[in-house]
Structure 1
Amino acid sequence: MADKSHAPMRKKEKKDEAADMTKDGKEVKSEGQKTEDNGEAAANNGTAANDQNGDFEVEPMELPPFEIIAGDRIDPLVFRFQFKNVEYSSGRNKTFLCYLLDKGNPADGLYKGYLEDEHSGSHAEEAFFTQCLPNYDPALKYTITWYVSSTPCSACATKIAEMLKARRNMKLSIFAARLFEWEEEEIQAGLKALHGAGCKLRVMKPVDFSYIWDTFVENEEQPLNLWEDCKENYEYYQEKLADILQ
């Protein structure tokens, strides 16, 4: 699957993630259209140093590969930041995938957890099949539900569609907080391929965010207070998805 660290994969406007997670105030849809300050961009992409003319010179910084992180509960601040359904997702450069897995055997129960990816290496979508479902059994009936921070990249979508066509005993539903790069033709083609392979695709409703909060987040029994414009942004994304899949 493709490397999300390169365009046209998931948006990577280089802002400090911790600052974005804790900042107050309303995020507007024009946020991502603002030009980043040159000094900030330099600091985020490498080490800045002055040359003899006093200009900044960026020294490349190699990002180490990050392994897929798996767990049961997500930090509440991370959830609020990564799953926020704003249109321009500044700093949200990874995928969070919360899953429910039913293998059709009541004795096994329902498997659940989450995966996250970052930088190079496998994407969370690919990692689900290699880490959570490594031993495929054609005799079983799999029902899989994903709640993802954004829809898959084109490469992941294509591979998942091929897998669903080959494994007719596997049903997958994907509920996404945001549509990733939905304007790109190859992304739209990937979403159509998923839909054509029988995958149920839907943008997450406000009630879905509350469900994730209760099921996958270290919420300390505190209720989720949804952010401003959550419903409006859901309707915006759902309309875009409907246009793509029609």
Structure 2
Amino acid sequence: MADRKDSKTPSKSGLMKKKEKKVDKAEGKPEKEKNKDKDEKMKKKTEQNDAVSQGNGEIAEGAKGQDKNEDFELEPMELPPFQIIVGDRMCPSFFKFQFKNVEYSSGRNKTFLCYQVDIQGAAVESEGLRGYLEDEHSGSHAEEVFFQQVLAYYDKSLNYTVTWYTSSSPCVSCAAKLIEILRARKTLRLNVHCSRLFQWDDPETQAGLKALVKAGCKLRMMRPVDFSYVWSTFVENEEDNFTPWEDCQDSYDYYDEKLQDILK
């Protein structure tokens, strides 16, 4: 979401002075000019209200309605557009924060997905596909967008092996959509390696992951060696070696145990 800036409210004495000044100024105007000023002010207020009502239905703090004691208008703030970010390599700080396999993932409210696609069976050997994407203020999650933007075209005469390294496991909705895709694309194999489990204690999420594996997806947690691979392959690392964060192995063991319990 866009950064919200606090609006400073004038003191009561300041408002009284502002009102008195406007009254003195208005007294010297003819009645016709007073009515003209009033009409222009009402028009401006209507235009501002219309501007606030457009967009995503959200009103930022800078676009809130007037307080009955206030005598000024606040400009509406525009929210950022919905978008999906696609690239070859991500920023190191993004990787270290978004992929960290901590138990409590506070502030990590988006999905980073690194992908590698191997294609076999073509007359001319394909180099495959490789890159990453992230969902930001988006209605579609990264897992679904991959099949909309990266691998939208599917040739049933070819064999596809898709490998993902994701910052978190699929949600209920994404699991259901991935199952539909796997059923429709018989020559596609999907391997998903997750840094963290998303809402692993929710029964619906657990059922979705079990159904996804049953549909043919290979699902497992990322090991320290996987983080090292993602660092060297999908991160702008400037040829620096990956140094695992503290408890990287312990966190893998923790999540792997949870996943095995879900998939029993």
1:81 alignment partner in structure 2:
97
2:157 alignment partner in structure 1:
139
Q: Residues of 2 paired with 1:141 and 1:189: CA distance?
A: 28
2:245 alignment partner in structure 1:
227
Please give the root-mean-square deviation of Cα atoms over the aligned residues, in Å: 2.4
More helix by share: 2
1:205 alignment partner in structure 2:
223
Indicate the SS of the match to 2:167. Answer: strand
Residue 144 of structure 2 is aligned to residue 126 of structure 1: yes
Please tell me the residue identity of whatever aligns with 1:130. Q
Per the TM alignment, residue 120 of structure 1 is displaced from its structure 2 partner at its CA by 2.8
Contact 1:86/1:178, CA 8 A, preserved across alignment: yes
Q: Residues of 2 paired with 1:114 and 1:139: CA distance?
A: 26
Q: Residues of 2 paired with 1:237 and 1:76: CA distance?
A: 23
Moved more, 223-232 or 62-71: 62-71
Indicate the SS of the match to 1:108. Answer: coil
The number of residues matched between the two structures is: 197
Q: Which has the higher contact order (CA 8 A, sep 6+)?
A: 1
Please tell me the residue identity of whatever aligns with 1:175. H
Q: Deviations over 1:109-150 (max 9, x none)?
A: 131000100223221111110111111111111100000000
Please tell me the residue identity of whatever aligns with 2:235. V
What is the TM-score when the length of structure 1 is the normalising length? 0.74
Q: Determine what percentage of the aligned residue pairs are the same residue.
A: 61
Per the TM alignment, residue 217 of structure 1 is displaced from its structure 2 partner at its CA by 0.2
Match of residue 119, structure 2, among 92, 100, 103: 103
More strand by share: 1
Please tell me the residue identity of whatever aligns with 2:80. P
Residue 197 of structure 2 is aligned to residue 179 of structure 1: yes
Match of residue 180, structure 2, among 158, 162, 169: 162
Instruction: Could you list the structure 1 runs, at least 4 aligned residues long, displaced by more than 4 angstroms after superposition.
Output: 60-63
Contact 1:65/1:119, CA 8 A, preserved across alignment: yes
1:93 alignment partner in structure 2:
109
Contact 2:195/2:222, CA 8 A, preserved across alignment: yes
Q: Residues of 2 paired with 1:231 and 1:224: CA distance?
A: 14
What is the TM-score when the length of structure 2 is the normalising length? 0.70
Contact 1:69/1:117, CA 8 A, preserved across alignment: yes
Q: Deviations over 1:76-132 (max 9, x none)?
A: 011000000001101001000000001214621131000100223221111110111
Residue 209 of structure 2 is aligned to residue 191 of structure 1: yes
Indicate the SS of the match to 2:154. Answer: coil
Per the TM alignment, residue 46 of structure 1 is displaced from its structure 2 partner at its CA by 5.6
Gaps of 5+ in 1: 6-44, 53-59
2:40 alignment partner in structure 1:
none
Q: Residues of 2 paired with 1:226 and 1:141: CA distance?
A: 35
Match of residue 68, structure 1, among 73, 76, 84: 84
